[in-house]
Homo-oligomer: A and B are copies of this chain.
């Protein structure tokens, strides 16, 4: 699982984050750099609450706005798992992937297996309203091995 922090040393970190934002057409401001720097360190997607708590220096509104713009520019991915948990992760430096979520404890694991290439064509050929697809959301649920034992 490649991470941005693996590719740049600590001292250059700030600079590299700025470049990353620029490369996505996003102005490099303090809260944006902080959010991205934080997300880079994460293995799993995080909620807004998590990010907000970890970065009390910046206003909640800015965290929301930062995530919005980064999603818009394709630097961040939103994972919708349930009503009250929208989670966020960096797309940069990672292969396209999906998640397996434990229905019991909420623990997550990445899965790099994706849809077969031809499935979108098949779907479009049966669709009345759509002639092209831009992306998809695919998440798997199950009870993880740890929770399975405790039953």
Contacts and interface: CB of A to CB of B under 8 A. Distances in A.
A100 B129 contact: yes
Nearest to A81: B80
A123 interface: yes
Contacts of A83: 78, 80, 86
Interface in A94-147: 100, 102-103, 107, 109, 111-113, 115-116, 119-120, 122-123, 126-146
B144 A100 contact: no
B126 A146 contact: no
Contacts of A120: 140
A140 B133 CA distance: 7
A113 B122 contact: yes
A148 interface: yes
Contact of A134 (B122, B138, B142): B142
A82 interface: yes
Contact of A127 (B100, B141, B146): B100
B141 A133 contact: yes
29 contacts: A78-B82, A78-B83, A80-B80, A80-B83, A80-B137, A102-B130, A107-B129, A109-B130, A111-B123, A111-B127, A113-B119, A113-B122, A116-B116, A129-B144, A129-B145, A130-B142, A130-B144, A130-B145, A131-B148, A132-B143, A132-B148, A133-B142, A134-B143, A135-B141, A136-B139, A136-B141, A137-B137, A137-B139, A137-B140
